[in-house]
Amino acid sequence: MKRNAALARRRGAALIVACSAWAPWGALAQEAPASSTLTPLAEAAPVPESSPSAPPPPVAKPAPAPAAERPAPEPEKLAPVKITPLGYVEAYYAYNLNRPSNGITNARGFDNRHNTFSFTNVVLGATAEGGPFGAKLALQVGSMPSTIYLGEPTLPGASGANASNGELWKYLQEAYVTYKAPVGRGLLLQLGLSASPVGYEVLSVKDNWNWSRSNLFYGFPYYHTGLRATQELTKELSAIVGIFNGWNSVVDNNEEKSVQATLVYKIESKLALQALYFGGIERPTGSPEGPRWRHHLDATAQVDATDWLSVAAQGDYGWETTRMGPARWIAGALYGRVRPVEKFFVTLRGDRFHEHLGTDGSGRASSPLFWGGVEWVSSATVTLDVRPHENLSVRLEGRHDVADEPLYFAGDVAGAGVAGAPYVANARTQTTLLLGATAWF
């Protein structure tokens, strides 16, 4: 049975092969023209056997390309640091019509010598800016630094610590670092020693309208050490808060800190407004007036009415409730500046400053803060300013000072100018003439 089935399978396979061999020839016979001659079967090319059920040979797939290597991430590059040098020189000659024998123009601040050439200040420094970080350093030498640091606390040292006083710090005008945090339109943090924001005038002559400073600038603080934060609220409006050692204190004279709060509004080349509060305990530890909080309010304004006329004003009020009673002060200054021709300016300034001492029933009074017990001072100033170059200013100035009581020197002055024999003020007025030049970069 099995042999018959195998024989049948072999015969079927032979029949399939024979049919396969004849099929192409039948197709050729249909397509060939009538004149063609058929090739005999014996001469036909052999047809290889094939199994219809055998799968086609697999197609070789190309090897996958190696994955591209990702480049190693580059280290984050630091922003380049931009260094900008700065500096200026202020030199002058002044003559006091009182002709004081001690050669001192008193209670003036920085142009305080009679009949002599002098340097007010020589400043060299630089600012640095790299990304959100920045810094400023300004060093100074001249007659002005010693005057600025007269109010710096004098603190003793020890075997392992230096003493601190104005002579130690006077060569530093400003030294601080900044960081601009990405908060709102930018939050600028500033830490270190910086010029005081109180008042309209500033330390450098080139940035003021007059050469001499007003009585307000001389009376109020010049510098502070601490932390300040400035937040730009809009393009025109900024808010500033700060915490400091106090008035004119690189090193604090007590354990308390002072605070600042300020609003500044500016429209470039048109308007600048500032309202400031500065408060804190400023008397040294152990002061007979007690650890009382000192409050100071300051407001300034500048209006550029036209391209040839500008006006400005400053007003201040402050108080301190001492053990002897409330001490108060009020002061104001007005400015007018015209430019009659290109590179020539004329400025008029008037100011007045009142101080009231705190007193108790026994007649004890608080120590004066500003004028040595003189109730008020006032001044009038006219300044001619020529700018032959954009970095040079030459000024001719006349000024007249008046005080409630003798505060100035005239003619022969009593005293030796030393402890135990100070110079004795003998004039209520003084008039000065000054020629000065300042250059900067």
Residue 326 in contact with residue 319, Cβ under 8 Å?
Answer: yes
Q: How many residues does the chain have?
A: 441
Is the pLDDT at 150 greater than 60? The verdict is yes
- 362 — pLDDT class (breaks 50, 70, 90): confident
- The architecture of the domain spanning 82-153+164-440 is Beta Barrel (2.40)
pLDDT at 185: 94
Over 70: is that where the pLDDT of 46 sits?
Answer: no
The CA distance from 300 to 285, in Å, is 32
Neighbours of 15 (CB within 10 A): 10
| Across 43-48, average pLDDT | 46
Q: What is the mean pLDDT of residues 249-272?
A: 96
- Quick one: average pLDDT of 25-40? 40
Cα 101 to Cα 409: distance, rounded to the nearest angstrom: 8
Residue linked to tokens 């003619």 = 411
Cβ neighbour number for residue 67 with a 10 Å cutoff: 6
Distance between CA atoms of 258 and 245, rounded to whole angstroms?
Answer: 6
Q: Phi and psi dihedrals of 300, rounded to 5?
A: -135, 155
Ranges 228-232, 286-290, 352-356, 397-401: which has the least confidence: 286-290
When the pLDDT of each residue in the chain is averaged and rounded to a whole number, the result is 89
Task: Say how far apart CA 202 and CA 204 lie, in whole Å.
Answer: 6
Tokens 């000192």 belong to residue: 294
Task: Work out the pLDDT band at 65, boundaries 50, 70, 90.
Answer: low
Percentage of the chain modeled with pLDDT above 70: 84
Mean pLDDT to the nearest integer, 267-284: 96
Helices (H), 319-364: none
Mean pLDDT of all residues in 87-97: 99
Q: In the structure encoding, which two tokens stand for residue 376, read together?
A: 């008020």
Model pTM score: 0.81
Tokens coding 159: 């075997």
CA nearest 92: which of 59, 119, 132, 122?
119
Rounded average pLDDT over 13-40:
40
- pLDDT reading at 135 higher than 50: yes
Distance set, CA 161 to CA 164, 165, 168, 299, 318 (Å): 9, 13, 13, 40, 36
pLDDT tens-digit map of 155-188: 999 999 999 999 999 999 999 999 999 999 999 9
> What ranges do the domains of the chain cover?
82-153+164-440
